[in-house]
Amino acid sequence: MRIIHTADLHLDSRLKTNLDSIKAKERKKELQETFLRMVKYANDNDVNAIIIAGDMFDRPKIAIKTKEFVINTIKEYPQIDFIYISGNHDENSFIDTLIEKPKNLITFSDSWKTLNYDDIDITAINYDLKMNKYIYDTLFLNENKFNIVCLHGQLTKDEVDINRLKGKNIDYLALGHIHKYQKGTIDDRGIYIYPGCPEGRGFDEIGDKGFVLLDINNKKLESRFIKFAKRTIHEITVDISGTDSWNEIKRNVNLKINSISSDDMVRIKFVGNYDIQLIKQNEILLDSLNDQFYFASILDASKIAINPKDYENDISLKGEFIRGVLKSDLSDDEKNKVIEYGIKALMKEEI
């Protein structure tokens, strides 16, 4: 049997934290397109079932056309079972409002339900924090079957307690909720996997995204992560400590981004302590990056390297200004910003 394990599609996400309204709308559509591409991949590669381990949607109120898109996609491939548990972002109203649920869309409730596929059993339950006290005591699996269990939540005592799943005859625990691929062991028999989200939506979801493809033959499992996202999100850290010029910083940035696809999203994160005389040109760099990539951002976490002793006897306006700021009640980060903008103003640079 061949199965796709996915989760955290978050369809209908607003996506306006980083993107403007035009690109947010475009990216919102791309999340749907990736779901459709994944289903077509399943069809073309003899996949029998797609496990969606929670958070198919992002919010309680789902656009009608989004629901119709999902249902029509499921109906178009009746030979594939869509095994769908709800997550913390999902609402049962998606199912409740359907006039007719597709026969190949299999949903669950707040108690365990098992699907039988010859020598493979798939057992699942919907996400509910209140269920934590009883789900472990009510999970009974046939030790002679290959057992897949589906849950949504973090590996914590309050959500998915991995210690209470040991010895339960689980071969594969299909998890959702964590947006990065993770794999680990339950006990001598079973493993767990978070497939991550199929598409990154922001700079807290960097790196390769996709789904997990399972091949199960004679109760033997082969699992592999399939990179599948339309766009990859990158965060590139550049240490500007000891850098003499902005041109040198730009060269360092270019060296780190030259292999990144123009279709991707990139954030440059500056770190380190830089000389007070260095004039940064973040705005100009950002314009250049946005011409080069689908979307770009700069996170400047660098700080001016200041030794207060260097300005103890400095009688210049700059010395007076720096001493005043350093003696103030501002936080270190606020002092750094005030000094940076003040020095720019003194040097008649654009702030």
Residue 351 resides in a domain? no
The helix (H) or strand (E) run that includes residue 13 is: none
DSSP string across 22-84: HHHHHHHHHHHHHHHHHHHHHHHTT--EEEEES-SBSSSS--HHHHHHHHHHHHH-TTSEEEE
Do 277 and 206 fall into the same domain? no
Q: Which parts of the chain have pLDDT scores under 50?
A: none
Two tokens at 23?
């690109």
Long-range contacts of 337-341 (CB under 8 A, 24+ apart): 339/276, 339/304, 339/306, 340/304
Total residues found in the chain within this entry:
351
Lateral strand order in the sheet of 172-176: 113-117, 120-124, 146-152, 172-176, 191-194, 182-185
To 5 degrees, how large is the angle CA 233–CA 234–CA 240?
155
What φ, ψ does residue 50 adopt, rounded to 5°? -120, 115
Domain boundary among 171, 196, 227: 227
Domain boundary among 227, 257, 281: 227
Do 218 and 256 fall into the same domain? no
Residue 77 resides in a domain? yes
Q: What is the CATH number of the domain that holds 84?
A: 3.60.21.10
Residue 315 resides in a domain? yes
The pLDDT tens digits of the residues spanning 142-170 come to 999 999 999 999 999 888 999 999 999 99
Do 143 and 219 fall into the same domain? yes
Residue 176 resides in a domain? yes
Q: What is the pLDDT of residue 309?
A: 65
CB 102 within 8 A of CB 78: yes
Domain boundary among 186, 203, 227: 227
Q: What is the pLDDT of residue 96?
A: 65
Do 239 and 294 fall into the same domain? yes
The pLDDT tens digits of the residues spanning 47-80 come to 999 999 999 998 777 888 998 999 999 999 999 9
Q: What is the pLDDT of residue 129?
A: 64
Residue 108 resides in a domain? yes
Ranges of beta strands (E only) in 199-320 are 210-217, 220-227, 233-239, 265-271, 273-274, 295-300, 303-304
For residues 298 and 149, give the distance between their C-alpha atoms in angstroms, rounded to a whole number.
41
- What sections of 270-349 are H helices per DSSP? 282-292, 317-327, 332-346
Do 338 and 263 fall into the same domain? yes
Do 112 and 188 fall into the same domain? yes
Do 263 and 157 fall into the same domain? no
Residue 336 resides in a domain? yes
Q: What is the pTM of this model?
A: 0.89
Do 111 and 127 fall into the same domain? yes
Two tokens at 8?
């955290």
Question: Based on the number of CB atoms within 10 Å of its own CB, is 52 exposed (0-12), middle (13-18) or buried (19 or more)?
Answer: buried
Q: What is the pLDDT of residue 349?
A: 53
Q: What is the pLDDT of residue 69?
A: 94
Do 43 and 94 fall into the same domain? yes
The pLDDT tens digits of the residues spanning 255-276 come to 999 999 999 999 999 999 998 8
Tell me how many domains the chain contains.
2
Do 158 and 116 fall into the same domain? yes
What φ, ψ does residue 247 adopt, rounded to 5°? -60, -35
Two tokens at 248?
């040198």
Do 256 and 220 fall into the same domain? no
Q: Which domain holds residue 266?
A: 233-346
Do 17 and 102 fall into the same domain? yes
Q: What is the pLDDT of residue 283?
A: 93
Residue 53 resides in a domain? yes
> Inter-axis angle of helices 332-346 and 317-327, to 10 degrees?
160
CB 49 within 8 A of CB 74: no
